[in-house]
Each structure stands twice: as C-alpha cells, then as structure tokens.
Amino acid sequence: RVVVGTKVDQNHVNWVTAYNMLTGIRFTVSRTNAKMDRELEDIDFDAKHKFSFDITGNELTPSTKYDFKFKDYAPFVFRHLRAKFKLDPADYLMSLTSKYILSELGSPGKSGSFFYFSRDYKYIIKTIHHAEHKFLRKILREYYAHIQQNPNTLLSQFYGLHRVKIPYGRKIHFVVMNNLFPPHRDIHRTFDLKGSTIGRDFREEDLEKNPRATLKDLNWLRRNLHLEFGPTKRRIFIEQMEKDVKLLQRLKIMDYSMLIGIHDLERGNEEKLRDKTLQVFQPGGDQAEDPQKANALARTPSKLENQRKAKELRQMIKHQKPVPMDQTSSKMPDEVDGEGKGFFFYNDDGGFRATHEDDRPGEEIYYLGIIDCLTHYGLIKRGEHFFKGLRNTESQISAIPPERYGDRFVRFVSGVTKTREAAEKEKAELNAT
Ligand code: ATP
Ligand code: CA
Ligand code: CA
C-alpha cells in the first residue's frame, strides 16, 4: 500500500501543531507507561492532566521547540485499552514520533476534521470537535466495557485522547486510533457505507480524476458488490457488527459508517512500493509522485537500527527514564510486523479475507471497520432544527433516530454480505419464480 498524504515537514502550515501533538503524546504516554500497572479505578475515567511545555523546560516537562499546553485525558484507561488492543508501548512511541513525523490527509470529510498518519502508517490522529471530545469522555466507561467483552470489535480502536493549545491559538482536540488500511498492500477500492441512499453517491465521472476516492452506498450497489464471506466468516462478522451496533444504539450514536478497503489479490501490489516511490494525495486532485518522498525513503534507517531503537525505548520505559524528544521513528511500511495479530477481523495480512461458500479462501482481502462513531444524536437534531425552515434540504439529512439508523445499517451491511455463488443462486431462484 502506497502511503497517502502530504508530508508534514517544517515547511508545512500545520507543522507546529503536528510537532506539538507528537511531543505531547510522547511525553504523556511514556510518563503513564513508566508507572506501575494497576487495576483501573472509577476516577481514572474522568482523569485529566495538564502540562505546559516551553523552550526552557522545567522540572516536570522537558524543553521543547515551541511553547504549548497539552492535556492528557484518562491516561490509564487508554493505557489499558492499548494493552487490550495488543500495542507494544515502545512501538507505539516509535510510530508516533519522528523527524518526518506524519502525513496529512487534508480534511476528507465534511466535518472539517484533519487526519494525520503516523509515518509508518499504523495510526491515525484525527482532530475532533469539542462536542465529540466531550462525548467520548462521557461514554468512555461503556466503550471500555465493550472492548473488554468484545476484543474483536469492529469499532474504531481508540488509543488516546488529548488536547493541544499554542499561545493565543485555539484548543485542538484529537484522538489517536487504528488505521484500518495496511501499509504494505494496495487498496484497490474504498467504500464508506451507511445503509442510506440519500446523497450517498460519489460522482462516477470524478473517479477518473481521483481514482482513489472513497465511494459510497449507491456506487457499491451499482457495481453489485458483496462482502464475499462464506457461511463461517459471514456469521461471525454479522454477529460482531450487531453487538457493536447495539452499543452505538444504546449510546444514541449516529452517522457512523462501515469503511471497507478492498485488496484484490489477483491484482496484487501494482503500485511500486518496491521502487520506493510514494504518492502524494491531493484532496480532490490528481495523484502525483513525490521525488522528495522517494528520497526520504531511500534514507530510511535499516530494520536492525529500528529494532535497536525499540529495544532502547523499552529499556527506558522499564527503568522509568524520560524518553528523549528527538528519537525518530523510522520503521517503514514494508517492514511492518503483523500488527493486530490475533484479532479476528485483522488477521489475514491485517485484514479479513474473502471466503467461498465452502469456506475456501477467496480472491480479496477486506480491510474494514466501523468508523466515525462519535456523533451523538442530540448534535444532529440541533443541526436539523437549524435547517427546519429550508424545506428542500430537510430530506437530504439522514437524521433518523439512532435505533433506526443502526437497524438500517445492520440490514444493509448484512444484506450485501454473501459470496458470489450465493448471490447468483439467489438471483437464479428469483428468476425461476
Ligand atoms: P464526516 O463527518 O463528514 O463524515 P469526518 O471528518 O468525521 O467526516 P470520517 O468519516 O471519520 O471523517 O472519515 C473520513 C474518511 O477518512 C473516511 O471515509 C476514510 O476514507 C478515512 N478514514 C477515517 N477513519 C479511518 C480509519 N480508521 N482508517 C482508515 N481510513 C480512515
Ligand atoms: Ca463519516
Ligand atoms: Ca464525523
């Protein structure tokens, strides 16, 4: 998979923000992980810690390039969540810190959120609205309990919740979560499915301009696509989705989607990762090759060097030493070691492989999960109220209550989960009658 995004380097407008985010994460995560592990207590869910960073540093915080404030929310809860999701603390720190930090995926949604990928492409930092932030804090106990009971959840895996603020700047809230898509495999098509048809169409004409665009429900139906899982995988997939959606319904969450990346094994990796050529994603624009990135890759330290650094970091965490700020992440996509091992839906080369009716492996790997699940119904209703006067737009808003939203979502996704054989058989039967 080719790394998508614009590199955030010193010349990037969001360099300072990104730098501060990573510095704050690095500091707070190593601080939390240096402490003795213990059972969670109720107050851990409401905990928040504020830190001031400045260029001189003080007894608590090290000196940094810029002055900024950083808030860390429920650090012990997220520590436990990361452990539950089987993240290695040292790897996590390595991935989220670097000189060439991250790449930015502009703002792909309508919400205005920004997305940053860690350099090794394992993690996504998503900036979120204050309302979403407050909401995540509110539901954290339920989310945590759900993860305990459902380690194979399809819901977004949250690894951290933080806030950063530069002097005179606004407060930026953000979460760190799993990137569903693999660093080492091309995704040939991406879909974002909600189970609604209103406004759920990506203009097919625009696909030429932007072949990696995320397509929607109507594009999926038009192509007559299926999540091709044979009986065993189908059952397990649908059961887990139902459990996850039940939680979302109970928490009155809406507007989430099933994000699906399809890797076609017959096409394989056409995009020349092996040529060390990376692409830059320009929102709404063409894909361009970036020679600068190719150079950066060529300078990437060896795997051995990475292993040495990870070991060093592990030692520091163990001996409760502060981790230096300039430790660079250098693990590259083609070296990523099966993250998420043991999780049912992320176990076939990081994804979930298609199967046939007889459970033989199929021709695709699906990389999928339920994303964007921090929108509370109340928020949408307020928005709807605002539109009340404008009759025409009303039908555009798919703001049906969370119960119905979830039922429709499950119905749609289950409905398209079947093998090609099963779909053809159904069709033949239908024609016969
Ligand atoms: P909106 O509210 O307008 O739908 P948003 O800003 O909340 O947008 P999301 O819906 O969370 O954004 O995500 C937008 C796109 O970003 C997705 O369609 C997908 O392409 C990508 N994306 C989001 N989360 C992930 C993830 N965990 N892994 C991979 N890609 C993701
Ligand atoms: Ca969305
Ligand atoms: Ca959203």
Half-sphere exposure of 84 (CA within 13 A, CB side): 20
Residue with CA closest to ligand 1 atom 6: 109
Q: What is the pLDDT along the chain (433 residues), one digit of tens a residue?
A: 344 678 888 778 788 888 899 999 999 999 999 999 999 999 999 999 999 999 999 888 999 989 999 999 999 999 999 999 999 999 999 898 755 556 777 666 677 888 998 888 899 999 999 999 999 999 999 999 999 999 999 999 999 999 999 999 899 999 999 999 998 889 999 999 999 988 899 999 999 998 889 999 999 999 999 999 999 999 999 999 999 999 999 999 999 999 999 999 999 887 544 333 333 332 333 333 333 333 333 334 456 666 777 777 777 666 656 555 544 444 444 434 444 455 899 999 999 999 999 999 999 999 999 999 999 998 776 665 455 445 544 434 455 799 999 999 999 999 999 999 999 999 899 998 8
Which residue in 365, 373, 327 sits closest to 346, CA to CA? 365
Residue with CA closest to ligand 1 atom 4: 109
Looking at residue 11, what DSSP letter applies?
T
What's the N-to-C CA distance of the chain in angstroms? 45
d(CA 309, CA 315): 10
ipTM over the 0.85 cut-off: yes
Residue 37 CB neighbours (<10 A) = 9
In sequence order, the β-bridge partners of residue 53 are 68
Q: Which atom of ligand 1 is nearest to the CA of 177?
A: 27
Which residue in 112, 39, 52 sits closest to 79, CA to CA? 39
pLDDT at 278: 33
pLDDT digits (tens, 9 = 90+) for 256-288: 999 999 999 999 887 544 333 333 332 333 333
Q: Which atom of ligand 1 is nearest to the CA of 179?
A: 28
177 lines ligand 1 (CB under 6 A): yes
pLDDT at 375: 95
Compute the 3-state secondary structure of the chain and give helix, strand, coil in percent, each to the nearest 5. Answer: 40, 20, 45
* H or E stretch covering 164: strand 158-165
Q: Going by C-beta distance under 8 Å and a sequence separation of 6 or more, which residues neighbour residue 425?
A: none
Residue with CA closest to ligand 1 atom 24: 371
214 lines ligand 1 (CB under 6 A): yes
14 lines ligand 1 (CB under 6 A): no
Q: Going by C-beta distance under 8 Å and a sequence separation of 6 or more, which residues neighbour residue 388?
A: 394
Residue with CA closest to ligand 1 atom 14: 109
Q: Which atom of ligand 1 is nearest to the CA of 372?
A: 11
pLDDT at 384: 53
pLDDT at 334: 40
> What CATH code would you report for 6-429?
3.30.800.10
CA of 291 relative to ligand 2 center, distance in Å: 32
62 lines ligand 1 (CB under 6 A): no
174 lines ligand 1 (CB under 6 A): no
d(CA 222, CA 204): 10
Alpha helices by DSSP H, listed for 194-336, are 217-222, 231-250, 291-298, 303-318
> Pocket of ligand 1, candidates 115, 117, 175: which has the most ligand atoms within 8 Å of its Cβ, to mutate?
115
Q: Which atom of ligand 1 is nearest to the CA of 181?
A: 29
Residue with CA closest to ligand 1 atom 12: 109
- Dihedral sign of CA atoms 83, 249, 365, 334 in order: negative
Return the C-alpha torsion angle 180, 186, 192, 195, nearest 10.
Answer: -100
260 lines ligand 1 (CB under 6 A): no
CA of 110 relative to ligand 2 center, distance in Å: 8
Which residue in 96, 85, 92 sits closest to 33, CA to CA? 92
> Pocket of ligand 1, candidates 180, 190, 259: which has the most ligand atoms within 8 Å of its Cβ, to mutate?
259
- Dihedral sign of CA atoms 381, 383, 385, 388 in order: negative
Q: Where are the domains of the chain?
A: 6-429
127 lines ligand 1 (CB under 6 A): no
Residue with CA closest to ligand 1 atom 20: 214
CA of 373 relative to ligand 1 center, distance in Å: 10
CA of 29 relative to ligand 2 center, distance in Å: 28
